[in-house]
């Protein structure tokens, strides 16, 4: 049955009429014409969009920093940085001479931006530091840093800002450092007395004794930091027999510094992480567990002292953290984890770098006797021979400050800065840097 709507203006169509075929042909013609126009329009729009994207991509790529040559498939430039014949920062310095102060390399599957001029470093680390303030998620940061809870390993975000605020206002504020100045001064005096006792005990016929100054600086620095952070003192220059806890601390902190700077295959080539080549991850977990047990012992001791109402005349950093956190969580981390991670970060971050700088400064002075003599003359004039130097004298010791700065320039404790990650697209030195670099 055919049902048709009929009006007085339009005649009724007779489907049996042979002329009805003309109507069908006309309708098909207009339909095909409409579809052709639509197809052409869609195709033209897609083609135009593709051309615009291609043009934009080329415009951006033309501003990308130059990439060093000699990259290999999969591993990138790792083969240039892993050789024993040349240190990585020397290799990168030679690349900078060739490609300029800003260039890129490939570390496995990751693209890394290398900055080797003070102007560019100042721009991305000081002037606009927020863009490059985050840290990449590395294997060592995960295991040694309490799953990125340790301040130096944390990615930029609310947790990082909160911990930074606590450190700045509560731990390393001028007021807190002033309260702990007697700890630093007494430790220096004690260490010098122990050095004198060592000389009296072991001096030879010529009145001389051999001292490994790097170890002495290391013990002094670690004692100062441990007393400020956890109220502990483990090392003595005059007592060669260290207790087991002292030996354990020394070994674990050295392993931490060593492992945190080692290259892990999983960081550059994540899909090979399950192999754990070189048993790197297993070693990281073992060291992290041992370091956590040390920090946990300190924390429990501080908590028992706090709960018993025992008042310490000088609160160390762990005492302060217990009071500030008061059992509250920060982000995804509980109070104890934040306390341990922050205190350990201050210990390992402040000990090794100080030891390296002091050792180099002493070595340079002994090899430049005129400079040593001028430094001694400045001390005699500004401080005198009747007392020891104190922290208030530092502002007057201009020549000594220059010696320290020159030592840092010639032999920085870390030749390469810790890796950072851009949290947003950025333009550095006229080059486009993509987010995640």
Q: Do 393 and 426 belong together in one domain?
A: no
pLDDT, tens digit, 9 for 90 and up, residues 32-85:
554 455 554 555 565 566 556 655 555 555 588 999 999 999 999 999 987 667
Distance from C-alpha of 301 to C-alpha of 166, rounded to nearest angstrom: 22
Distance of CA 249 to the CA centre of its chain: 23
Say whether both 333 and 190 belong to one domain: yes
> Does the residue 36 lie in any domain?
no
The answer to whether residues 339 and 221 belong to one domain is yes
Do 29 and 68 contact (CB within 8 A), yes or no? no
Q: Contact 259/348 with Cβ under 8 angstroms?
A: no
**Which structural domain, as residue segments, surrounds residue 66?**
61-134+420-436
- Tell me what pLDDT residue 242 has: 62
Where the chain has pLDDT below 70, the residues are 1-62, 83-84, 237-242, 311
- Confirm whether 30 is domain-assigned: no
Contacts of 38 (CB under 8 A, 6+ apart): none
Residue 412 forms part of a structural domain: yes
Are 242 and 292 found together in one domain? yes
Name residue, tokens 């486009």.
Answer: 432
Is 405 part of any domain? Answer: yes
319 and 343 share one domain:
yes
In a domain, 198, yes or no: yes
Q: What is the pLDDT of residues 274-317, one digit of tens each?
A: 888 888 999 999 999 999 999 999 999 999 998 888 767 778 99
Q: What integer pLDDT is reported at residue 20 of this predicted model?
A: 46
- Please tell me the distance from the alpha carbon of residue 340 to that of residue 143, in angstroms, as a whole number: 14
Asked if 412 and 427 sit in the same domain, the reply is: no
Within this chain, do residues 269 and 390 fall inside the same structural domain, yes or no?
no
Contact 172, 179 (CB under 8 A): no
pLDDT value at position 5? 44
Q: Can you give the pTM of this predicted structure?
A: 0.81
Could you say which of 316, 339, 361 is where a domain stops? Answer: 361
Q: What pLDDT score was predicted for residue 87?
A: 86
Q: Is residue 205 part of a domain?
A: yes
Report the pLDDT value the prediction gives residue 239, as an integer from 0 to 100: 63
pLDDT of amino acid 275:
87
Do 223 and 311 fall into the same domain?
yes
Number of CB atoms found within 10 A of residue 274's CB: 8
Residues 201 and 340 in one domain: yes
Domains held by the chain: number: 3
212 and 354 share a domain?
Answer: yes
Q: What is the CATH number of the domain that holds 287?
A: 1.10.630.10
* Domain assignment of residue 13, yes or no: no
């Amino acid at each position: 049955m055919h049902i048709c709507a009929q009006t007085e203006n339009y005649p009724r169509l007779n489907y049996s009429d042979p002329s009805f075929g003309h109507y069908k042909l006309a309708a098909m013609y207009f339909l095909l014409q409409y579809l052709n126009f639509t197809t052409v329009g869609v195709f033209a729009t897609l083609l135009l969009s593709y051309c615009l994207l291609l043009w934009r991509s080329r415009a951006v790529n033309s501003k990308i920093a130059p990439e060093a040559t000699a990259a290999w498939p999969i591993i990138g430039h790792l083969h240039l940085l892993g050789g024993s014949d040349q240190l990585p920062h020397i290799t990168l310095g030679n690349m900078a001479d060739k490609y300029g102060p800003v260039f890129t390399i490939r570390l496995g599957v990751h693209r890394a931006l290398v900055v080797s001029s003070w102007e560019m470093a100042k721009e991305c680390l000081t002037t606009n530091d927020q863009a490059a303030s985050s840290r990449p998620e590395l294997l060592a940061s995960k295991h040694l840093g309490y799953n990125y809870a340790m301040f130096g390993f944390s990615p930029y975000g609310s947790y990082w800002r909160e911990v930074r605020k606590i450190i700045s206002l509560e731990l390393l504020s001028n007021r807190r450092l002033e309260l702990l100045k007697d700890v630093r001064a007494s430790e220096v005096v004690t260490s010098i007395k122990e050095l004198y006792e060592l000389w009296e005990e072991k001096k030879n016929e010529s009145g001389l004794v051999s001292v490994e100054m790097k170890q002495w600086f290391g013990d002094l620095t670690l004692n100062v930091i441990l007393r400020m952070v956890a109220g502990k003192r483990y090392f003595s220059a005059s007592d060669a027999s260290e207790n087991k806890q002292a030996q354990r601390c020394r070994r674990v902190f050295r392993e931490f510094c060593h492992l945190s700077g080692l290259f892990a295959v999983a960081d550059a080539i994540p899909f090979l992480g399950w192999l754990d080549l070189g048993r790197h991850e297993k070693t990281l977990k073992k060291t992290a567990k041992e370091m956590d047990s040390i920090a946990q012992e300190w924390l429990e001791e501080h908590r028992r002292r706090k709960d018993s109402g025992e008042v310490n005349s000088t609160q160390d950093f762990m005492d302060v953290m217990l009071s500030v956190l008061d059992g509250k969580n920060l982000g995804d981390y509980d109070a104890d984890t934040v306390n341990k991670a922050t205190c350990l970060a201050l210990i390992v971050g402040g000990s090794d770098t100080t030891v390296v700088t002091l050792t180099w400064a002493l070595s340079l002075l002994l090899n430049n006797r005129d400079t040593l003599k001028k430094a001694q003359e400045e001390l005699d004039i500004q401080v005198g021979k009747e007392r020891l130097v104190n922290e208030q004298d530092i502002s007057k010791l201009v020549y000594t400050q220059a010696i320290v700065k020159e030592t840092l320039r010639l032999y920085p404790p870390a030749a390469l800065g810790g890796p950072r990650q851009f949290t947003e697209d950025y333009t550095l030195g006229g080059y486009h840097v993509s987010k995640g670099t």
